[in-house]
Structure 1
Amino acid sequence: MRAPRRTLPPAPRTSVLVTAVLLVVVCLAALTVGRYAVPLPHVVRILLGQVTGAPVTDQTGHDVVVLVRLPRILLAALVGGGLSVGGVALQAIFRNPLVSPQIIGVSSGASFGGALALFLGLGTGFLVGGAFVFGLLALGIVFLVTVGRAGAPMLMIVLGGVVTGSFFSALVSMLTYLANPYDTLPAIVFWLLGSVASATFGKVLVCVVPVGIGLVVLLVLRWRINVLSLGDDDARAVGVTPGPVRWTVLGAVTLIVAGAVAVSGVISWVGLVVPHLARMWVGPDHRFLVPLSFLLGAAYLVAIDTLARSLTAGEIPLGVLTSLVGAPVFFVLLRRHRDRIWDRA
Structure 2
Amino acid sequence: MELSEVGRLARSVLDRVETVVVGKREALETVLTGILAGGHVLLEDFPGLAKTLTARSFAQTLGLDFRRLQFTPDLLPADVTGSFLYNQRSGEFDFRPGPIFTDLLLADEINRTPPKTQSALLEAMQERQVSVEGVTHPLTTPFHVLATANPVEYEGTYPLPEAQLDRFLLRVSFGYPTPEQEWQVLSKRMARRQEEAVLDPVVDAETLVSMQKALEDVAVDDSVGRYMVELTAATRKHPQVQMGASPRGSLALLLTSRARAVLQGRDYVIPEDVKHMAGPALAHRISLRPEVWLRKVEPSAVVAELCAQVHAPASAQLPSYSTR
Q: TM-score range by the shorter chain?
A: under 0.3
The alignment's TM-score, normalised by the length of structure 2, stands at 0.27
Relative to its length, the structure with more helix (as a share) is 1
Structure with greater contact order relative to length (CA < 8 Å, sep ≥ 6): 1
The alignment's TM-score, normalised by the length of structure 1, stands at 0.25
Relative to its length, the structure with more strand (as a share) is 2
